Amino acid sequence: MAMNFRKRRPEEPEINLIPFIDVLLVVLIFLMLSTTYSKFTELQITLPVANADKARDRPHEIIVAVAADGRYAVNRKPVEGRSVELLTAELAAAAAGSTEMIVIVSADATAAHQSVINVMDAARRAGLARLTFATQTSAGSEPR
């Protein structure tokens, strides 16, 4: 009885890719489910509301009201026209030469941003550097 002892050729190592692909698919699914896709939508802002202590009455103040359509009133006196020059003249007349007056901008929540900027520009031109904004409480009970 002859035994055939042949040297076996060593098999080439084989890399099994199936578990690797399985792990990659699990990672891919995890990333797909955990990723949030944010959409930039239109900002819905309602202004102005503030919850601060009520401002104390100041004798040296000028109240500039800005309506939703852009009309102005200085100390409850309507300003004819909407130009910065007219508003500057009205503020200068209301200040009567005093630069210590406080300008309180009481703008409607839906007033154009440009209208409020015009009030700030007119106050600067009239030499009135102290400026604040009137708001109401979030309950909306009384204006401040």
Q: pTM of the entire structure?
A: 0.54
Residue 54: pLDDT band by 50, 70, 90 thresholds?
low
pLDDT at residue 12 above 70? yes
Tell me the pLDDT of the chain averaged across its residues.
77
Give 107-121 pLDDT, tens digit per residue.
888 888 888 898 889
More confident residue, 46 or 112: 112
What is the average per-residue pLDDT within 21-27? 95
pLDDT at residue 72 above 60? yes
Instruction: Output the six-digit token pair for 45.
Output: 């802002």
What pLDDT score does 21 carry?
Answer: 94
The alpha carbon of 125 is separated from its chain's Cα centroid by a whole number of angstroms, namely 27
Question: Hey, where are the domains in the chain?
Answer: 61-133
What pLDDT score does 19 carry?
Answer: 92
Residue 29: pLDDT band by 50, 70, 90 thresholds?
very high
What pLDDT score does 18 carry?
Answer: 92
More confident residue, 81 or 26: 26
Secondary structure (DSSP) of 118-133: HHHHHHHHTT--EEEE
pLDDT at residue 141 above 70? no
CATH architecture of 61-133: 2-Layer Sandwich (3.30)
